[in-house]
């Protein structure tokens, strides 16, 4: 959270750059607001600042019905200082605490339940339970506003175990029943729930969608200039660009997984990035200034499935993107049964038969074995993914950094040996590593700018845009 004097100036100016960075609690009304709330600004003596909406809720405040603080843009988990909290928060965002106790969440990140709660209070001002509670409330309210789902389907989609629990919680927090909160009358039952997910502008659609299109797997994904469709368990999840956000459509058959689908969508499209902070830092770097001016708001696209993303990274070793995508599509056809192959399907498979070198096929099998042995969570953990991957035969530094960048979403990942990075900088991997030091902690975004620059970042031969 910013210092209190910064928070004060930001709320008085209603500065949209600070929306989502802190929450304003108002003592006289008992509500908490976004810094951009249009209501009359209260006196500073009557204000308390919180790092998160969950912290304000836990302190006894209720959400403002005017500015809707539960809908504020989020900052990504990697902006949090504690890696343990960041890793646990990722799982909470995917709905882990809707079906598991806090002690199991703590075990997944290697600490005790009390220690995890203490770390959460230090970083976010609220406990893990408080964060999960706020997430369920926010999702339920969004489903009420943005969809025509029945109240029972809203309860299911938001992660409540029962309709009664959902009703009681919404009435307790908002002072109104779900039907009273809904802004319109009943409608026909829809075939999908549709949610609008905002992003911080600028957001380069002409970078993100083409990037994803080049890597789309035939039969699993369809990408246009402004939309993406991904088939999950045979059902089409679609994402459509819509102004300063995207509209996510989730089939009702997947409604119980709504929280996980929302979390994955936010990562695939990097919706929570703060381009003001990122471009403000990278835009003054000599090697990057021209690219940032030409294409502000570039994102680091994520992946739908961690294992899939890691396998595609292995397939992309020393080959062009198009070739790696062909190999991945062949894997789906040979071993996927309508989805990307599971680790179990690949661990003993003749992977090289789809047209790759035998050593690379063995690396895929080794990766599958590692995921079977320890579970897939390490692939999404920015602190664990590099050493874990480098311990696997056939996987080197480029692959480890690429997976850290796109799967674990580490904003500072930097594949210095990448051919397009070296060409754009007209230098060696060792020198690229040295020159990238001032770009921390946003080196992954710098890589995107170098790939997008087409060699114009520095006077150098014109490189192809590769992974």
Of 7, 19, 33, 412, catalytic: 33
Percentage, residues of the chain above pLDDT 90 = 69
What are the tens digits of pLDDT across the range 262-285? Answer: 999 999 999 999 999 999 999 999
Of 37, 52, 71, the residue at which a domain comes to its end is: 71
Residue 460 has pLDDT above 50, yes or no: no
Residues 235 and 222 in one domain: yes
Does 138 map to a domain?
Answer: yes
- 418 is annotated as an active-site residue: yes
CATH at 31:
3.40.10.10
From the list 153, 305, 412, 418, the catalytic residue is: 418
Q: Are residues 198 and 186 in the same domain?
A: no
Q: Is the pLDDT of residue 362 over 50?
A: yes
Q: Among residues 365, 377, 378, 418, which one has the least CA distance to residue 396?
A: 418
Residue 189 banded pLDDT, cuts 50, 70, 90: low
Output the pTM of the full model.
Answer: 0.79
**Same domain for 49 and 15:** yes
Report which of 364, 300, 372 is spatially closest to residue 328, judged by C-alpha positions: 364
Structural domain including 219 reads 192-252
Q: What is the pLDDT of residue 164?
A: 93
What CATH number does residue 178 fall under?
A: 1.10.10.60
Q: What is the pLDDT of residue 461?
A: 32
The CATH number linked to 215 is: 3.30.310.20
- Report residue 37 as tokens: 């709330």
Q: Could you give the C-alpha distances from 237 to 15, 96, 192, 219, in angstroms and in order?
A: 34, 21, 9, 13
Residue 465 banded pLDDT, cuts 50, 70, 90: very low
Q: What is the DSSP letter of 411?
A: T
Average pLDDT over residues 308-335: 93
- Do both 212 and 180 map to the same domain? no
Instruction: Tell me the three state secondary structure of residue 202.
Output: coil
33 is catalytic: yes
Confidence class for position 286, pLDDT limits 50, 70, 90? very high
Residue 352 has pLDDT above 70, yes or no: yes
Domain contains 276? no
Least confident of 131-140, 191-200, 325-334: 191-200
Residue 106 lies in a domain: no
- pLDDT value, residue 464: 31
* pLDDT, position 42: 92
What is the C-alpha separation between 387 and 41, in angstroms, rounded?
50
Write down which residue in 71, 92, 113 finishes a domain: 71
pLDDT level of residue 183 (50, 70, 90 thresholds)? low
| pLDDT confidence of residue 30 | 94
The number of domains in the chain is 3
Residues 182 and 203 placed together within one structural domain of the fold? no
Assess if residue 204 is contained within a domain.
Answer: yes
Per-residue pLDDT at 180: 87
Q: What's the confidence (pLDDT) of residue 71?
A: 81
Q: Which of 17-31, 108-122, 172-186, 223-237 has the lowest mean pLDDT?
A: 172-186
Helix (H) or strand (E) holding 78: none
Q: Is residue 202 in some structural domain?
A: yes
User: Do 230 and 199 lie in a common domain?
Assistant: yes
412 confidence band (pLDDT: 50, 70, 90): very high
Residue finishing a domain among 147, 174, 190: 190
pLDDT tens digits, residue range 16-75?
878 888 999 999 999 999 999 999 999 999 999 999 999 999 999 999 988 989 887 766
| pLDDT mean over 291-313 | 96
What pairs with residue 344 in β-bridges?
Answer: none
Question: Is residue 457 over pLDDT 60?
Answer: no
Closest CA to 158 of 73, 248, 95: 95
For residues 342 and 319, what is the distance between their CA atoms, to the nearest angstrom? 23
Per residue in 90-111, pLDDT (tens digit) is: 889 889 999 999 999 999 999 9
Query: Would you state the pLDDT for residue 462?
Result: 30
The whole-number pLDDT of residue 190 equals 61
SS3 145: helix
* 3-state SS record for 256-298: HHHHHHHHHHHHHCCCCCCHHHHHHHHCCCCCCHHHHHHCCCC
154 domain residue, yes or no: yes
199 part of a folded domain = yes
Domain check: are 150 and 200 in the same one?
no
Residues 198 and 244 reside in one and the same domain: yes
Q: Is the confidence at residue 398, as pLDDT, over 70?
A: yes
Q: Contact at 8 Å (CB) between 62 and 173?
A: yes
Is residue 309 over pLDDT 90? yes
Same domain membership, residue 131 and residue 181: yes
- Residue 40 falls within a domain, yes or no? yes
């Amino acid at each position: 959270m910013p210092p209190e004097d910064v928070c004060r100036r930001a709320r008085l100016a209603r500065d949209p750059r600070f929306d989502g960075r802190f929450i304003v609690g108002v003592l006289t009304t008992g509500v908490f607001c976004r810094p951009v709330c249009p209501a009359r600004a209260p006196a500073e003596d009557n204000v308390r600042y919180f790092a998160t909406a969950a912290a304000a809720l836990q302190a006894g405040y209720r959400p403002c019905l005017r500015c809707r603080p539960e809908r504020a843009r989020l900052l990504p988990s990697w902006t949090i200082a504690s890696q343990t909290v960041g890793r646990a928060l990722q799982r909470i965002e995917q709905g882990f605490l809707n079906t598991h106790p806090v002690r199991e969440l703590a075990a997944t990140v290697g600490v005790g339940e009390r220690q995890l709660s203490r770390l959460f209070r230090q970083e976010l001002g609220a406990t893990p339970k408080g964060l999960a509670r706020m997430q369920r409330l926010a999702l339920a309210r969004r489903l009420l506003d943005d969809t025509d789902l029945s109240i029972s389907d809203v309860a299911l989609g938001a992660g409540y175990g029962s309709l009664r629990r959902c009703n009681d919680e919404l009435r307790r927090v908002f002072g109104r029943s779900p039907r009273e909160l809904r802004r319109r009358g009943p409608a026909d039952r829809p075939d999908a729930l549709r949610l609008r997910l905002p992003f911080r502008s600028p957001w380069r659609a002409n970078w993100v969608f083409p990037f994803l299109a080049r890597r789309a797997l035939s039969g699993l994904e369809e990408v246009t200039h402004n939309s993406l469709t991904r088939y999950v368990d045979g059902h089409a999840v679609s994402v459509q660009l819509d102004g300063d956000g995207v509209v996510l459509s989730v089939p009702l058959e997947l409604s119980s997984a709504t929280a996980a689908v929302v979390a994955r969508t936010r990562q695939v499209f990097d919706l929570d990035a703060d381009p003001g902070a990122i471009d403000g830092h990278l835009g003054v770097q000599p090697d990057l200034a021209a690219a940032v001016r030409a294409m502000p708001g570039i994102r680091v696209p994520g992946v739908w499935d961690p294992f899939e993303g890691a396998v595609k990274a292995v397939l992309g070793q020393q080959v062009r993107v198009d070739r790696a995508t062909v190999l991945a599509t062949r894997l789906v056809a040979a071993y996927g049964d309508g989805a990307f192959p599971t680790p179990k399907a690949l661990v003993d498979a003749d992977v090289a038969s789809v047209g790759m070198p035998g050593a690379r096929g063995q690396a895929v099998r080794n990766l599958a074995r590692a995921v079977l042995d320890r579970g897939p969570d390490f692939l999404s953990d920015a602190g664990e993914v590099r050493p874990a991957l480098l311990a696997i035969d056939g996987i080197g530094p480029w692959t480890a950094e690429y997976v850290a960048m796109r799967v674990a979403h580490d904003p500072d990942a930097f594949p210095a040996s990448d051919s397009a990075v070296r060409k754009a900088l007209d230098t060696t991997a060792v020198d690229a590593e040295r020159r990238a030091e001032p770009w921390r902690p946003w080196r992954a975004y710098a890589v995107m700018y170098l790939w997008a620059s087409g060699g114009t970042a520095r006077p150098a031969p014109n490189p192809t845009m590769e992974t």
